[in-house]
Amino acid sequence: MSLCSATMSSPEAPRPAYNPRMHQGGKLSFRSRAQGHDDDPGEFLVLGGENPPSLRELAPVGHAHLEIEIGPGKGAFVLAATEARPEVFVLGIEAAPGYASLAATKLRQSGRTNGLFLVDNGKLFLQDRVDEGALAAVHVYFPDPWPKRRHKGRRFFTDEVPAVLARALGRDGYCYVATDNAAYAGQIARVLGSSPWFVRDEHEEARVQAAGPGHAFSPTNFERKYLEEGRVIRRYAFRKAGR
Ligand SMILES: C[S@@+](CC[C@H](N)C(=O)[O-])C[C@H]1O[C@@H](n2cnc3c(N)ncnc32)[C@H](O)[C@@H]1O
């Protein structure tokens, strides 16, 4: 495990590599904001590297309710969720180190300890670093749509993802998704909706939206931007079907 706290708190110490190596097998090359000079994420940022720690190693003992956000960007959802729901531990897994560092710095400054950011490929982390049934929820807000045909394989919601999510989620666990991209929304609804492991739960979609900030669908940076542009946002809550 490669914690930044040792390197980031001292001004003379080297900053974490801008493009650290990722979870073995994960070829990720994401653009990211450059490391900011005020960033000091302390122990709230973990660089996963080729052999990232497991969720069990990352989450403090005592949090029965564990959630993951894949691709938190600048961290708005994790920040709101850790504030609104102190009983929940939220791990944000972000492929772009610069964003993860910014988000982790904000979390450190908040004084809350029920969250953490990890630089890694979220799909690979779910596959082999999360115990079966360990999660209450997985959040994916405004996943990169990769519109070019040759890049479609880079999307998060590919055909193998329902099985990956179903293994990591506990009974009645949820996958919450929001996107502005109509084509990708269709793919997500098809991939999750046609799988034997998930059912769409429209009551839950209404419930969490009414629950307000810090609950699922809490506004993220991309959502704010897209709403200002007048884009239509599609939001889905898929519940793991009891088996
Ligand atoms: C369009 S941005 C959305 C950020 C944030 N969710 C929001 O709504 O403001 C997508 C983010 O997902 C991250 N990302 C894409 N694929 C990922 C993966 N496989 N694992 C972790 N992060 C990923 C990108 O680096 C980027 O920060």
- Quote the ligand 1 centre to 91 CA distance (angstroms): 13
Q: What does the alpha-carbon distance between residue 104 and residue 79 come to, in Å, rounded to a whole number?
A: 9
15 pLDDT exceeds 90?
Answer: no
Note the pLDDT of residue 42. Answer: 93
Mean pLDDT of the chain: 88
Note the pLDDT of residue 149. Answer: 83
Q: What is the pTM of this model?
A: 0.90
Which position has the higher pLDDT, 114 or 16? 114
Note the pLDDT of residue 63. Answer: 84
What is the pairing mode between strands 2-3 and 45-47? antiparallel
Of 100, 98, 80, nearest to 88 by C-alpha is 80
Mean pLDDT value of segment 87-98: 95
Summarize pLDDT for 120-165 with one digit per residue, the tens.
Answer: 999 999 999 999 999 999 999 999 998 888 887 789 999 999 999 9
DSSP string over 27-81? ------PPPPTT---GGGEEE-TTSPPPHHHHSPTT--EEEEEE--TT-HHHHHH
4 pLDDT exceeds 60?
Answer: no
231 pLDDT exceeds 70?
Answer: yes
Note the pLDDT of residue 7. Answer: 36
Q: Supply 214's token pair.
A: 């810090």
- Quote the ligand 1 centre to 222 CA distance (angstroms): 10
Residue with CA closest to ligand 1 atom 14: 71
Of 206, 195, 205, 148, nearest to 167 by C-alpha is 195
Catalytic residue among 40, 120, 128, 144: 144
Q: Position of tokens 């001292």?
A: 10
- Quote the ligand 1 centre to 117 CA distance (angstroms): 12
Tell which atom from ligand 1 comes closest to the C-alpha of 178. 8
